[in-house]
Amino acid sequence: MSTAVFTYGSLTFAPVWQAVVRGAFRSVPARVRGHRRHALRDATYPAMVAADGNEVLGRLWLAVADDDLVRLDRFEGAEYRRATVLAEPLDGSPAVSAQAYLWVDPTRLLPQDWDMAAFERDHLRDFARVHGAFGERD
């Protein structure tokens, strides 16, 4: 079986994604409505939570294998819960049901959006190593 996965933070970057999963998956830019991305206190990665009237831009990974979904669950850990969202590819393709990792602890949310450019500039290079992704390839 395979599943679509919507990512909106560190996993939108191929070096992090490829450090976590084993398979090669096609991806497209996409959006999820009814949610908001936040920066987090004491973290370089973001959170996504339900929020009417908002949308989150990210990447939709297609046909992700079940064993790689398990690797993603392990990488995201207890700070997130996996939930089904409706992801709309930005190329106009039909929306698809996808899995996304929603944040569970509202006390760490900051009011501002996560700064993707700052993450790429300041943290991407060492992110997977620091957060254990490279050790997950079993």
Domain 2-133 fold = Hypothetical upf0131 protein ytfp (3.10.490)
If one compares 137 and 38, the residue with the highest pLDDT of the two is: 38
pLDDT digits over 47-89, tens only?
999 999 999 999 999 999 999 999 999 999 999 999 999 999 9
pLDDT(118) > 70: yes
Taking the C-alpha atoms of residue 22 and residue 122, their distance in angstroms, rounded to an integer, is 26
pLDDT(133) > 70: no
Could you tell me if 6 and 59 are in contact, meaning their C-beta atoms sit under 8 angstroms apart?
Answer: yes
All structural domains of the chain with their residue ranges: 2-133
Report the predicted TM-score, pTM, of the whole model to 2 decimal places.
0.93
Q: Which residue has the tokens 């919507």?
A: 6
